[in-house]
């Protein structure tokens, strides 16, 4: 079964000053699927995600969303499309509570005044919908939460809105075994509910446990995007470390210079 | 671009659960509210606690050593003494919440006071025109400072240090190398020198307490109706009752005759600066706690990058904080001009800035950004005023007063730094 991609990137280039981090990257994300984005440290995964989220403007290439070519220049424009990013560094405000963080930048108001009751209700319902029972009070400051709880808040923030694409940058990197399992379960559930999910992870077990497709970045180039069921563990590791594996991957990886 | 409109309704990945009904018994929820508070304090969120404790200790200390400290006359003096730096400190809270500083707020108030005096006395403007122009001057100053910090990217410390020196020069130029301009306008003079009629004091108190109670009860009822846990009723009662009791004691004391010679001049009633500060306190608290703008100030101060990713215009928030700060500094300058009956090159100078920063920090506003409230400026401002006033009564020289106030600021900043370390370590 192949659904049409909701998010399509074609030929994305991105440089920071003289350093080109992304070269001609193409990337497809489909609804109802978890697409794993893998690659070595520094391969450009976070940069690609920030381009998707409108944090970094792209230098060249095409951004297609739901069959239309779009320009995304700011986080607000990405959010308006229905693209939500859970960043590696979470981007939560420690001095605000869970509800305030979930609605930051998109507060509900009645006239001039913040509508705290509505926001609290919606936040409680979303957390409950995600079967989150680990936080004691949603009026708790984020600074008092554990790593897993913070991750959960960040994910809940992403699905609170009518999002279509949710991108998670290494959501389990800092978590213990039990919390990792919980977050992965949550990731799978999002896709099963029809969202297009992008999961960045270093952990092959996690990738094979939840993903439908795997996209491998190698030194800023997209080495391959394949069905998880079509590849083996060691093929993916090869793609990550050398950019190719058998007939998969970049045509001549030794010709690629960083 | 072809961005779709975000539907207002949240789409839940799962069926919505039923919101938890929280109808816990009053006593239990009061106990849990108290426990939450203790937890927060333990976690390094001291809030107003040090300032309130400090205020009580200082008042007892001075009252024992100098009984005159407790006299009605001195109480009224305390309020009018503190009002100018409290207004400046309120503005500084906005800037401090961003983790920035405005070292020029003192002299900005001096520039604005000079503008006021020149327009009133030299040009015969009506009081509202002159006061409006003074506040507008503050707004423009804040706009320039804010743009230099937020758009050009110069550290606020440097921008406002330069402005500190520059404004000092501007005051001298405006006042023709140090002459002093006296204020003769009755309305401006009344601000820091006159009192409300005693009956009006009671009416204002009743209206304030009534409005506060109505807002609290309405919010509580609203939450209960929507199935959310309301603040415990007992806690509401304590808050409302506390406000009413403290207010009544203050109004009663201030309504006593405090003139030494009643036949010449009767002196009683709540000083007019008190409702002026009260209005600023309510407006500032509303802005910071109940509007998106206020929330964004906290967000930028807590994590500017997160705020940016949430789509908040960080530069606009930074700029407006400086605009508010300098505008409130102008109000502080007007109060100072009224209290001094004149404006001279020292208005807004010497220790004014230090006392205002001290007031905000002693009140519990963090120098690291993200934590603080407008009421901190009032509480901390009262601590500073009590120290200045009490030590004056004890006959200490200005030198000792400065040194002690400086040390108290250092202690408050130390408490701030340590409580922050404690919060981070968890
Ligand atoms: N803001 C930036 N400015 C300059 N270089 C950057 C910036 N962000 C990332 N890079 C560089 O881009 C490369 C890819 O980084 P990143 O996208 O974080 O990789 P990954 O997430 O795959 O580990 C790295 O070499 C990194 O140093
Ligand atoms: Mg990364």
Please tell us whether the domain made up of B45-194+283-413 is placed in CATH 1.10.8.
Answer: no
Residues of chain B found within 8 Å of residue A93, distances taken between Cβ atoms = 298-299, 302-303, 306-307, 370
Name the CATH topology of A7-93+164-249: Rossmann fold (3.40.50)
Residues of chain B found within 8 Å of residue A149, distances taken between Cβ atoms = none
Give the Cα separation of B25 and B279 in Å (integer).
36
Other Cβ atoms less than 10 A from the Cβ of B222: the count is 13
Task: Ligand 1, residue A220: give the atom nearest the CA.
Answer: 14
- Closest ligand relative to A170 C-alpha: 2
Give me ligand 2 centre to Cα B50, in Å.
42
Ordered by start, the domain boundaries in chain A are 7-93+164-249
By C-alpha distance, the chain A residue nearest B369 is A95
Token digits of residue A202: 């270093």
Q: Is A54 in the pocket of ligand 1 (CB under 6 A)?
A: no
Q: What does the pLDDT read at residue B87?
A: 96
- Residue of B2, B9, B307 with shortest CB distance to A68: B2
Q: With 90 as the cut, is the pLDDT of residue A183 above it? A: no
Contact: B307, A93; criterion CB under 8 Å: yes
Q: What does the pLDDT read at residue A18?
A: 92
CA distances from A74 to A51, A57, B34, B168 (A): 9, 8, 43, 42
Q: Is A240 in the pocket of ligand 1 (CB under 6 A)?
A: no
By C-alpha distance, the chain A residue nearest B299 is A93
Q: What does the pLDDT read at residue A173?
A: 82
- Closest ligand relative to A37 C-alpha: 1
Helix H or strand E encompassing B420: helix B398-425
Contact: A144, B228; criterion CB under 8 Å: no
Q: What does the pLDDT read at residue B68?
A: 84
- Residue of B13, B226, B306 with shortest CB distance to A130: B13
For chain B (426 residues), the mean pLDDT of every run of 10, in chain order, is 37 37 53 73 71 89 87 86 94 97 95 94 92 97 97 95 94 85 92 92 95 91 83 85 93 86 80 95 95 97 91 95 97 95 86 91 92 94 91 87 86 84 59
Give the dihedral sign, CA B194/B198/B204/B209.
positive
- Do B297 and B94 meet the contact criterion of CB atoms below 8 Å apart? yes
Give me ligand 2 centre to Cα A46, in Å.
4
Give the mutation candidate from B20, B293, B303 for the A interface (greatest A CB count, under 10 A).
B303
What DSSP line would sit under A71-98, residue for residue? ---SHHHHHHHTEEEE-TT----TTSBH
Give me ligand 2 centre to Cα A65, in Å.
23
Give A118-164 pLDDT, tens digit per residue. Answer: 999 999 888 887 776 667 788 888 888 888 888 888 888 888 887 89
- Residue of B19, B370, B371 with shortest CB distance to A121: B19
Q: What does the pLDDT read at residue B1?
A: 38
Kindly report the average pLDDT of chain A as a whole number. Answer: 88
Q: What does the pLDDT read at residue B422?
A: 66
Q: Tell whether A193 is within 8 A of chain B (Cβ).
A: yes
* Alpha helix segments (H runs only) across B48-185: 49-65, 72-97, 105-117, 127-147, 156-174
- Residue of A81, A104, A124 with shortest CB distance to B299: A104
Residues of chain B found within 8 Å of residue A34, distances taken between Cβ atoms = none
By C-alpha distance, the chain A residue nearest B309 is A75
Q: What does the pLDDT read at residue B98?
A: 97
Give A71-109 pLDDT, tens digit per residue. Answer: 999 888 999 999 999 987 768 999 999 999 999 999 999
Q: With 60 as the cut, is the pLDDT of residue A185 above it? A: yes
Q: What does the pLDDT read at residue B44?
A: 64
Q: Tell whether A125 is within 8 A of chain B (Cβ).
A: yes
Q: What does the pLDDT read at residue A19?
A: 94
Rounded to two decimals, what is the model's pTM?
0.85
Token digits of residue B231: 């603040």
Q: How far is CA B263 from the centre of its chain?
A: 37
CA distances from A228 to A76, A183, A215 (A): 32, 20, 9
- Do B266 and B194 meet the contact criterion of CB atoms below 8 Å apart? no
Ordered by start, the domain boundaries in chain B are 45-194+283-413, 196-270
Give the angle subtended at the CA of B341 by the CAs of B337 and B346, to the nearest 5°. 55
Burial of residue B123 (number of CB atoms within 10 Å: 0-12, 13-18, 19+): exposed
Q: What does the pLDDT read at residue B333?
A: 95
Q: How far is B226 from chain A (nearest CA, A)?
A: 8
Residues of chain A found within 8 Å of residue B1, distances taken between Cβ atoms = 70-73, 77
Q: What does the pLDDT read at residue B20?
A: 41
């Amino acid at each position: 079964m192949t659904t049409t991609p909701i998010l399509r990137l074609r030929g994305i280039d991105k440089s920071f000053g003289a350093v080109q981090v992304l070269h001609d990257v193409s990337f497809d994300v489909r609804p109802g699927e978890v697409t794993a984005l893998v690659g070595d440290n520094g391969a450009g995964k976070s940069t690609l995600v920030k381009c998707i989220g409108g944090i970094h403007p792209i230098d060249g290439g095409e951004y297609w969303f739901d069959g239309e070519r779009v320009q995304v220049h700011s986080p607000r424009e990405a959010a308006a499309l229905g693209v939500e990013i859970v960043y590696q560094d979470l981007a939560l405000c420690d001095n605000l509570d869970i509800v305030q963080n979930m609605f930051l930048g998109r507060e509900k108001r009645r006239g001039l005044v913040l509508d705290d009751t509505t926001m609290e209700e919606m936040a409680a319902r979303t957390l409950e919908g995600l079967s989150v029972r680990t936080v004691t009070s949603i009026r708790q400051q984020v600074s008092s939460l554990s790593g897993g709880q913070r991750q959960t808040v960040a994910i809940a923030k992403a699905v609170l809105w009518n999002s279509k694409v949710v991108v998670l940058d290494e959501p389990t990197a800092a978590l213990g075994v039990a919390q990792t399992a919980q977050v992965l379960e949550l990731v799978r559930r999002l896709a099963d509910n029809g969202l297009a999910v992008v999961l960045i992870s270093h952990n092959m077990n996690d990738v094979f446990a939840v993903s439908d497709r795997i996209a491998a970045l190698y030194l800023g180039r997209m080495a391959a995007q394949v069905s998880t069921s079509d590849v083996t563990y060691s093929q993916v590791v090869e793609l990550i470390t050398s950019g190719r594996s058998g007939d998969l991957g970049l045509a001549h990886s030794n010709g690629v210079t960083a | 671009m072809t961005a779709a409109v975000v539907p207002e309704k949240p789409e839940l990945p799962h069926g919505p659960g039923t919101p938890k009904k929280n109808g816990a018994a009053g006593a239990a929820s009061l106990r849990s509210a108290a426990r939450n508070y203790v937890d927060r304090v333990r976690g390094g969120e001291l809030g107003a606690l040090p300032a309130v404790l400090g205020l009580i200790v200082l008042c007892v200390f001075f009252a024992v050593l100098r009984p005159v400290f407790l006299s009605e006359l001195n109480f009224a003096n305390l309020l009018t003494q503190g009002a100018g730096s409290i207004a400046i400190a309120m503005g500084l809270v906005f800037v401090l919440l961003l983790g920035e500083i405005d070292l020029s707020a003192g002299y900005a108030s001096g520039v604005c006071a000079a503008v006021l005096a020149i327009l009133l006395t030299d040009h015969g403007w009506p009081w509202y025109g002159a006061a409006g122009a003074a506040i507008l001057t503050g707004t423009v100053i804040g706009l320039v400072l804010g743009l230099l910090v937020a758009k050009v990217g110069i550290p606020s410390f440097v921008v406002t240090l330069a402005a500190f020196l520059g404004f000092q020069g501007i005051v001298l130029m405006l006042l023709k190398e140090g002459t002093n301009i006296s204020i003769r306008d009755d309305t401006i003079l009344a601000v820091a020198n006159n009192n409300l009629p005693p009956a009006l004091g009671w009416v204002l108190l009743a209206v304030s307490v009534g409005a506060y109670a109505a807002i609290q009860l309405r919010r509580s009822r609203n939450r209960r109706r929507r199935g959310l846990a309301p603040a415990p009723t007992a806690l509401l009662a304590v808050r409302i009752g506390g406000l009413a009791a403290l207010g009544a004691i203050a109004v009663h004391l201030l309504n006593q005759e405090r003139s030494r010679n009643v036949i010449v001049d009767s002196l009683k009633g709540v000083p007019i600066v008190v409702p002026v500060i009260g209005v600023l306190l309510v407006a500032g608290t509303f802005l910071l706690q109940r509007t998106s703008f206020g929330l964004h100030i906290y967000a930028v101060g807590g994590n500017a990058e997160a705020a940016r990713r949430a789509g908040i215009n960080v530069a606009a928030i930074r700029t407006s904080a400086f605009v508010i700060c300098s505008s409130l500094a102008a109000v502080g300058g007007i109060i100072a001009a009224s209290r001094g009956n004149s404006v001279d090159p020292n208005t807004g100078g010497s220790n004014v800035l230090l006392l205002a920063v001290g007031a905000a920090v002693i009140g519990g506003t963090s120098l690291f950004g993200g934590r603080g409230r407008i009421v901190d400026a009032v509480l901390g401002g009262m601590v500073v005023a009590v120290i200045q006033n009490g030590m004056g009564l004890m006959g200490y020289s200005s030198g000792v007063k400065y040194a002690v106030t400086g040390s108290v600021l250092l202690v408050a900043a130390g408490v701030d730094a340590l409580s922050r370390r404690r919060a981070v370590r968890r």
